[in-house]
Structure 1
Amino acid sequence: MAESFYSSGLHFSCIGCGHCCGGGSPGYVFLSDDDVSDISSFLGVSKETFLSDYCRKVDTGTYYRVSLREKKNFDCIFLMENGCSVYPVRPVQCRTYPFWDSIVATVDTWKQEGRECPGINTGIFHTMEKIEESVALRRGDSLIVLKR
């Protein structure tokens, strides 16, 4: 197996720019049952209320996934002026950014994301082991799947 371009580690620190939380283009924050439990508990609402007030079903063609709602400007519903209002319990998708398979696949995909995210290649040093932990956490996240 070829050595990963990040075998010597990578630098990343969130600077709070909001690019990954909105930035004017639509997207999805897909949720697991654990994400729903953690955030609804943090907000002090039932899971049912959380799902109806803060989430939407996304049609993938063969099934539905559950995603956080977006504001009219496509920002995450939890993105506020001072950052994420559910930061301590943010979904796995958010916690593991930018260490996703699609972003750390190659040095080119990493550089491409760095053009959008000013925190890439700055700040905190992350070892290969920490990067792979994040990749594995996201890969192993059991996202909610609803039948059509």
Structure 2
Amino acid sequence: LAVTAGATAVGGAVVGGAALAYLIQQQQQDENFLFTPQAGSLEGQTIFITGGTGSSLGLETAKRLTAGNPAQIIITARTAAKGDIALADIRTYMKESNPDSLTTLSYKILDLDSIQGIREAVASWEDNLPTINCLV
């Protein structure tokens, strides 16, 4: 069984690696490889992204979703400093790619290291969080 599981894991890694190499090649050949919503397709929507700081997938998602002109994008950050840096990064992206965007950006402090911390954070948001249309 261990040999079979090991062979399956190695086979999966090879297939996964090949798929990743293919995707990278496609991205280099096709500038439209990355998803970007059509202008106006997210108007009036509030998008909540868990994560969104550093060099994360959440941060890149937030940047790309600004193209759809949502009413609001809220990201989470472990600290206020990280949240401020991420918002500045998203704003810079918006100025370059969609300077007329009216999307409001904000962050909420959230540290996923403890269940108690998560409960306290969510409880503090309940009274001042808009209706969320999309959770990432």
TM over 0.5: same fold? no
Task: Indicate the TM-score class for this superposition, using the shorter chain for normalisation.
Answer: under 0.3
Tell me the TM-score normalized by structure 1: 0.23
Higher strand share: 1
Tell me the TM-score normalized by structure 2: 0.25
